Structure 1
Amino acid sequence: MDLSAYAVVMKWDPNKYVQFADHRDRPFYDLTARITAATPQLVVDMGCGPGPLTHSLAERWPDARVVGLDSSVEMIDQARSKHHAEYLSFEFADATQWTPEPDTDVLVSNAMLQWIPEHRQLIARWLEALAPGAWFAAQVPGNFHSPSHALMRQLAESERWAPQLSGVLRQDDASGEPSDYLKILLDAGFEPDVWETTYGQILSGPDPVLEWVRGTALRPVLARLSATDAADFEAQYGALVSEAYPAVDDHGGGTVTLFPFRRIFMVGRKR
C-alpha cells in the first residue's frame, strides 16, 4: 500500500481546506462524541490536516499525549505554527507505512482513508495492532456517486482530458459501505458502532460546489495540470456542477446552493 503517489503529487492548501470549516468539522465532532474513553494516555489523529480538530482532542483530554500525523508537509507546518498545548505534537507520517504504538488508547482518522485504495486492509492492520480496551474511530465520505464527483470523473475521462488525467481520480468505490466497515471491526474483535449520515449542507457564494472541491477532491487534478489547463478544466467542471446544483432562493433576498453530503462513520472499542 502506497500513499506516496498522493502525498508527493498533491500539494495541499491548508487555508483552502478550512474554507468550509463549519461543514467539514461537524462530522469530526459527531464521530468523536461516540468515543467514551475517560482518561486515555495516548491519542493519535491520523490525517490531522491543519490541526484545529487535533487541538480539540487535546482540550478534551488535557492529560493525554495527543499526536497529529499527516503526510502533507504544508498541513504539518501550519498545525505546528498555530496549535499549541502542553502534550500536543504534530509529526509527518505516511499512513500506509505507519503502525499504532502498542499503548495507543484512541486512534482517530477523519476524512483521510478514502485517499488510500487498500484502506480496508490498512484498517484491519491497525485494529490488530491496538491493545484490548483501545478505541478506533474514523469517518469517510460516502458521496463518490454524487454529481460533484461523478461529473469530475466523467470530464477527466473525456477525449479532451484523458491524455493528462487518466487514472488520476479515484473511482466511485473509493470508500466502502457501512456493512464493509462493520465486518472489519467485528472480525478484529471490536464492539462496533457504524452508521451513515447525509448532511443537508447549505453553501453560499459564487460557484460554491467548485470552491468546495478545490479544497479536497479537485487537488489531484490541479496537481497534474498546468495553470492554464487547470483553469480550463475548472471552467468546464464549474459549468457542469452549476447545472447539477442550481442556486435556490434563500427567501432573504439572496440565493444559496443545496449540497447533500453523505458520510460513513465507524467507532469501536477492542474487547
Structure 2
Amino acid sequence: MPRTGPTWDPAQYLRHSGHRTRPFLDLLARLPEPDREDPEVVDLGCGAGNLTALLAARWPAARVTGLDSSPDMLERARREHAGPTPGGGRLDLAEADATTWRPTAPLDVLVSNAALQWVPGHADRFAEWTSALAPGGTFAFQVPANFGAPSHVLMREIAESPRYRPHLDGVLRHADAVLEPAAYLERLLALGLESDVWETTYLHVLKGPDPVLDWVKGTGLRPVLDALGTRPDLREDFLTTYREALRTAYPATERGTVLPFRRLFAVAHRPKETP
C-alpha cells in the first residue's frame, strides 16, 4: 500500500482472514506455472504476509518478495512468514511505496491482491511494472469493486455531513478508486499482454455483532479512524451513526449477516519470445 494511505492494524485486518483469503485463492488458481524452476515472484501490497506465504507454498523454489509500506504489517509478516522455504527458495519482505515502486530485476510473477485501490492512478503504472516481466511472465491482481455498495456509500454520506465534513473532507475514496473491467482489459491489451479480466460478487455470511462494521474497520474505514484519531468524541459519534446505518443496510439474521462483495480480477501474460 502507498505511504500516503492509512495506518493498518494487522490483527483487525486478519479478523476476517478466511473471507479475505478466498479471492486470492481464486486468483492464484488462474496463475500459470513460470518457465523457471526458481522464479522471481513479487507480491505488491503484501500486508501481513499470510497470502504471500501461499505464493511461496505454490512455488517452493521461488524467490518471493513481499512489498508493503506499513511497518506494522511488515513486522508481522517478517515474524510469521519470512525466511527460507522447504523447496530451497526464500520469502523476503521489504518496505516499498506502490505509488513509486519500480521493479529492478526481471520478474516471472507480479501479484497484487486488494492493494491497488489505495494507489491513485494505479493503471498508469501498469506499463512500467509489466515492462519488467520476463518473456512468459505474469501480472495478476485483484481489487475490491464495491465502492458503490451501502457500506461505502453510507460511510461517505456520514463523512460529508456538516458535523464531520471539516475533519473528513477529501479523506475517503470514491467510486472511481478502481476502473471497470473493460477499462482494465483495454489497458492491458494495449500493452501487448494476453489478458483475462473478470469479476465475482461474493456473498460473505458474517457472524457476530455488527460484523460489517468490524469488517470495514480493517480496511475501508481506516482513513476515518486515522483522521478522527485526535477527536475520540467525534470518532465514537461517527461509529455510532455508521453502526446504526449498517444495521439497517445489512440486517442480521439467525444465520448471520450477508455482505455482498464485488471484486475484479485480471491475469495478464507477456508473450514468450519467438525462438
TM-score, length-scaled by structure 1: 0.94
1:217 aligns with 2:220: yes
* Partners of 1:194 and 1:267 within 8 A in 2: yes
Q: Which amino acid aligns with 1:206?
A: P
Q: How many residue pairs were aligned? A: 262
3-state SS, counterpart of residue 121 of structure 1:
helix
Within a 5 Å distance, the mapping from 1:173-184 to structure 2 comes to 173-184=176-187
C-alpha distance in 2, partners of 1:244/1:258? 10
C-alpha distance in 1, partners of 2:38/2:19? 28
C-alpha distance in 2, partners of 1:154/1:24? 26
Within a 5 Å distance, the mapping from 1:109-148 to structure 2 comes to 109-148=112-151
3-state SS, counterpart of residue 266 of structure 2:
strand
Within a 5 Å distance, the mapping from 1:35-184 to structure 2 comes to 35-38=31-34, 39-86=37-84, 87-184=90-187
3-state SS, counterpart of residue 223 of structure 1:
helix
Residues 96-116 of structure 1, C-alpha deviation per residue, up to 9 Å, x if partnerless? 111123321100000000011
CA apart distance, 1:85: 3.9
C-alpha distance in 2, partners of 1:22/1:30? 13
Partner of 1:198: 201
3-state SS, counterpart of residue 247 of structure 1:
coil
Q: 4+ residue runs of structure 1 moved beyond 4 angstroms?
A: none
* Partners of 1:100 and 1:130 within 8 A in 2: no
* Partners of 1:35 and 1:267 within 8 A in 2: yes
* Partners of 1:37 and 1:135 within 8 A in 2: no
Gap runs ≥5 in structure 2: 85-89
CA apart distance, 1:40: 4.9
C-alpha distance in 1, partners of 2:135/2:22? 29
C-alpha distance in 1, partners of 2:25/2:126? 21
* CA RMSD of superposed structures (Å): 1.3
Partner of 1:264: 264
* Partners of 2:206 and 2:258 within 8 A in 1: yes
* Partners of 1:101 and 1:130 within 8 A in 2: no
Q: Which amino acid aligns with 1:233?
A: F
Partner of 1:253: none
* Partners of 1:141 and 1:263 within 8 A in 2: yes
CA apart distance, 1:268: 1.2
Higher mean C-alpha displacement, 106-115 vs 30-39: 30-39
C-alpha distance in 2, partners of 1:40/1:198? 34
Of 241, 249, 256 in structure 1, the residue corresponding to residue 254 of structure 2 is 249
TM-score, length-scaled by structure 2: 0.92
1:232 aligns with 2:237: yes
Of 13, 23, 30 in structure 2, the residue corresponding to residue 27 of structure 1 is 23
3-state SS, counterpart of residue 132 of structure 1:
strand
3-state SS, counterpart of residue 267 of structure 2:
strand
Gap runs ≥5 in structure 1: 251-255
